[in-house]
Amino acid sequence: MNKTVNQKAWFFVIPVFVLVAFNAIIPLMTVVNYAFQETFGNNVFMWEGTRWFKQIMLSERFHASLGRQFLFTFIILFIQIPLGIAIALTMPKEGIGVPVCLVLMSMPLLIPWNVVGAMWNIFALPDIGFLGHSLNALGFDYNFTQQIGDAWFTTILMDVWHWTSLVVLLSYAGLRSIQPAYYQAAEIDGASRWAIFTKIELPKMKKVLTIAILLRFMDSFMIYTEPFVLTGGGPGNATAFLSIDLVKMALGQFDLGPAAAMSLIYFFIVLLVCWVFYTLMMRNEEKS
Amino acid sequence: MKKAKWVVPTIYIIFLMLPIYWLLNMSFKTTTEIINTYTLWPQEFTLDNYKKIFTDRTWYTGYLNSIYYVVMNTVISVAAALPAAYAFSRYKFLGDKHLFFWLLTNRMAPPAVFALPFFQFYSSVNLFDTHVAVALSHCLFNIPLAVWILEGFMSSVPKELDETAYVDGYSFWRFFFKIFIPTITAGIGITMFFCFMFSWVELLLAKTLTAVAAKPIAATMTRTASTSGYELGLLAAAGSLTIIPGAIVIYFVRNYIAKGFALGRV
């Protein structure tokens, strides 16, 4: 759409700008304030420069939690995106099946995150949980509170359970926007199922898939509540992802300086990845 | 092939329902049964857990608090986002692209980063432990999302609609409320759904900004789990009840979702 230049449009944006700035800029400045100074309470601050940043960048604890975070995010993107597309492709296109699928599949998205954690905790308990009990009955030695591998398995399974539906819903939206004429043309040409997928469906889903990947990246990178309730970051520090580690540092140990520096580095990483995605997305949109 | 297509969604839905069933199953059991035996369905069916929640003030006010701030946040977010999304979809103005990206960055900010400054900030303006504080803080991620979704819907409405209305002598606001908003109800429905969803499920900020008066149900649950031992049945019942508002909202917007998805944006 060709837009007209109109500077008065700023008046429409002001309420949003004020509300978000109120919430974003003031707290962010507080974080910046802590990141460069040392405080002993009572509003007494001492300038520390980049000391906290150096400390965090060199700390093994940060490297470890950052590594865990990237590993987790890659694993869940690797599972959820293909799985979501596959489910969207097999979903019914008309009839009573559509609302039934949509409603049932949206269910996990609307459960408060700590309830998700609590639910999976109950579900996976080795003695009284369905998952834990079944796995042990099948001869696996499963205990997610004590074994690192099991803790990771449960956390990933929980996230797949929780968020794959978002990818499904978005992919389904993309598929629905394809006109039947494309499929008819493909049929006349005798295209294989695979060809239809790669040549018609995938290009048409590109836009929604970018949104899906972007949302899943952001949210999995910020994950806090679910693993906190499920494993508490344990056993040991095995599932202490960035946010969990950060909250532990800021509110648990009250190391405000390092925690603030870590916050900024953390935010910067998310921002960088999202900026790359966003630029690619906008470029695609301009092309099409 | 036709029949086989049903298999994948069915298996997926069963996988989704299993943990929910297990939670419901636990909520109808007595504590002794939960601790002593492993049963696939309640042997001694009991409603005691639910009774406790509906009669104990600390429990049911948690629900009211949550619903109160979620609704407040949804209304604020959509009301503020409507004119902004219109501006982004119709006009070019100084710094529009940067502003749009800046808004999106707030959707990307990890709440864990903001938890402590939010606490200090809302305490200093005397809003700590109020519903308004939680509703406002959730604007941080819901407004950008609302602008993003609404902008998509508004861009799919041809500009000729605006121009025709002006030619017919409509003033801007009359056009906006009488013609424009009714044409994008599906989009508004979806936006409200997403705002409701993200405000309802968020806990970290809601918990940090409240103590007693505005404490959300989800926080009541965590505190119960840690203070009065491990009352699994009660916890399961409270958890099951938190699913209901979401289910009701999905049921009401299900047609909008199908329609909105046909337009190609979330």
pLDDT digits (tens), chain A, 288 positions: 567 888 888 888 899 998 888 888 888 888 888 888 877 666 667 777 777 888 888 888 888 889 999 999 999 999 999 999 999 998 888 778 888 888 888 889 888 888 898 889 888 888 888 898 888 888 888 888 888 889 999 999 999 999 999 899 888 878 877 788 888 898 898 888 888 888 888 887 887 788 788 889 988 988 888 888 888 877 878 888 888 888 887 777 777 788 888 888 888 888 888 888 878 777 776 665
The CATH number linked to B66 is: 1.10.3720.10
The CATH number linked to A92 is: 1.10.3720.10
Residue A25, in any domain of the structure: no
For residues B148 and B185, membership in a common domain is answered with yes
Residue A258, in any domain of the structure: yes
Residue B157, in any domain of the structure: yes
Cβ contacts of residue B141 below 8 Å, gap of 6+? B106, B107, B109, B111, B198, B202
Residues of A in contact with B194 (CB under 8 A): none
Check residue A1 and give its pLDDT: 56
Query: Could you tell me if B15 lies within 8 Å of chain A, comparing CB atoms?
Result: yes
Q: Which of A105, A161, A267 sits opposite B109 (nearest CB)?
A: A267
Taking an 8 Å cut-off on Cβ atoms, the answer to whether B239 and A103 are in contact is no
For residues B127 and B197, membership in a common domain is answered with yes
Q: Which tens digits make up the pLDDT trace of B43-70? A: 888 888 888 888 888 788 888 899 999 9
Question: What are the tokens at B143?
Answer: 């407004």
For residues B185 and B251, membership in a common domain is answered with yes
Residue B205, in any domain of the structure: yes
For residues B158 and B245, membership in a common domain is answered with yes
Domains identified in chain A, total number: 1
Domain range for B161: 56-262
Domains identified in chain B, total number: 2
Q: Is the pLDDT of residue B266 over 50?
A: no
Q: Which tens digits make up the pLDDT trace of B134-156? A: 999 999 889 998 998 888 888 87
Residues 143-202 of A with CB under 8 A from B: 161, 164-165, 168-170, 172-174, 176-177
Alpha carbon of A157: minimum distance to chain B alpha carbons (Å): 10
For residues B143 and B29, membership in a common domain is answered with no
Taking an 8 Å cut-off on Cβ atoms, the answer to whether A110 and B249 are in contact is yes
Residues of B in contact with A112 (CB under 8 A): 200-203, 217-218, 242
Check residue B264 and give its pLDDT: 44
pLDDT band at B73 (very low <50, low <70, confident <90, very high): very high
For residues B225 and B168, membership in a common domain is answered with yes
Residue A237, in any domain of the structure: yes
Residue B126, in any domain of the structure: yes
Alpha carbon of A13: minimum distance to chain B alpha carbons (Å): 4
Taking an 8 Å cut-off on Cβ atoms, the answer to whether A27 and B118 are in contact is yes
Residue A17, in any domain of the structure: no
For residues B3 and B132, membership in a common domain is answered with no
Check residue B1 and give its pLDDT: 45
For residues B37 and B74, membership in a common domain is answered with no
Taking an 8 Å cut-off on Cβ atoms, the answer to whether A3 and B92 are in contact is yes
Residue B51, in any domain of the structure: no
Closest residue, chain A, to B83 (C-alpha): A12
For residues B145 and B29, membership in a common domain is answered with no
